[in-house]
Structure 1
């Protein structure tokens, strides 16, 4: 009987150790944005102030992680109010017609060390396409103040704006063809 109790306890501990964990973005320590070439002379940057992002994983190295992100397009911020208003119009993001950008991962595979290949479905401007992104897992540690586990990630990638029907009237000499994504942040284990 004692042997069965010990085995049952080990199985319960094992299930707890490898159970699915949810991690939510800590917006105070995160940024989600993009860069695009303007007139082939400079880079125009923007970020989003309102979004949700979470990760679900059962492995400590996040090698089985699933990422979900939802962005409020109306929260676009380029540090220029007039430009923000124009970008939210039907000429560009069309925030009224397409209020949300979403990303749902379909795979997250280690390529080497702390480097991963993140693949998923990006829904942007009413179009859903698979995109491939690069992810760096920056590690996990306990926050000294909250005593909660925190994991850090940096995600980068590029997609063609015209693949999503975005600003199709703008020539490449005015607005670059490639949209560069960059997200960096901390996720807190719930």
Structure 2
């Protein structure tokens, strides 16, 4: 009896893996941004180029999705060249030593309707920490030009720069510790 149960479990697991679909990032229509408070009176915004991202899911509502993302830290862009160079340096991201940030999900759970929570491991500045982000699944549509199925997501959450060892000598009164992450992404079904 145990042997039959094990075989059945393996077949079910194999079937789930077989039917999993992969979705690749559409870089031209995706953005990874951040906002941080400056001196308690304003916000500075920036972005990183997403170099690679994919979603693997066997369910059409993505409730079992696995998300992986890599972004180029050297691409940090705040619309100010001098500040961008400073952010790339050792005082902040130390982009020469830590050229990428990565995220790999550990769970992707539907909360209600189009709202989800994604939990995972964020690696930034050589430090890996668990984070949880809010996700809105904007649906799927066929791209009229490529005829490929596309899926859209908005992602938001807050991480503490101090937990990743970024600008630890900078007081929170000068630069907020909480950094708001926002991503707007499109994925193409492979």
TM-score > 0.5 by shorter chain: yes
Match of 1:51 in 2: 51
Match of 1:132 in 2: 132
Match of 1:78 in 2: 78
Cα distance in 2 for partners of 1:103, 1:56 equals 14
Q: Map 1:51-70 onto structure 2 (within 5 A).
A: 51-70=51-70
CA-to-partner distance for each residue in 1:85-138, whole Å, 9 max, x for gaps?
A: 000000001001111110000000000001001000001111111000000000
Match of 1:20 in 2: 20
Residues 50, 75 of structure 1: 8 Å contact kept:
no
Cα distance in 2 for partners of 1:67, 1:143 equals 22
* TM-score, reference length from structure 1: 0.89
Q: Map 1:156-167 onto structure 2 (within 5 A).
A: 156-167=156-167
Match of 1:151 in 2: 151
* Secondary structure at 1:75 match in 2: strand
**How far apart are 1:49 and its partner, in Å?**
2.4
Q: Which runs of 5+ in 2 are unaligned?
A: 1-14
Q: Which runs of 5+ in 1 are unaligned?
A: 1-14
> After the TM superposition, which parts of structure 1 deviate over 2 Å for at least 4 consecutive aligned residues?
none
* TM-score, reference length from structure 2: 0.89
Q: How many residues of Structure 1 are paired with residues of Structure 2 in the alignment?
A: 175
| Larger Rg over CA atoms | 1
* Secondary structure at 2:54 match in 1: strand
Cα distance in 1 for partners of 2:28, 2:124 equals 25
**How far apart are 1:28 and its partner, in Å?**
1.3
**How far apart are 1:50 and its partner, in Å?**
4.4
**How far apart are 1:163 and its partner, in Å?**
0.9
Cα distance in 2 for partners of 1:131, 1:161 equals 12
Aligned-CA RMSD value: 1.3
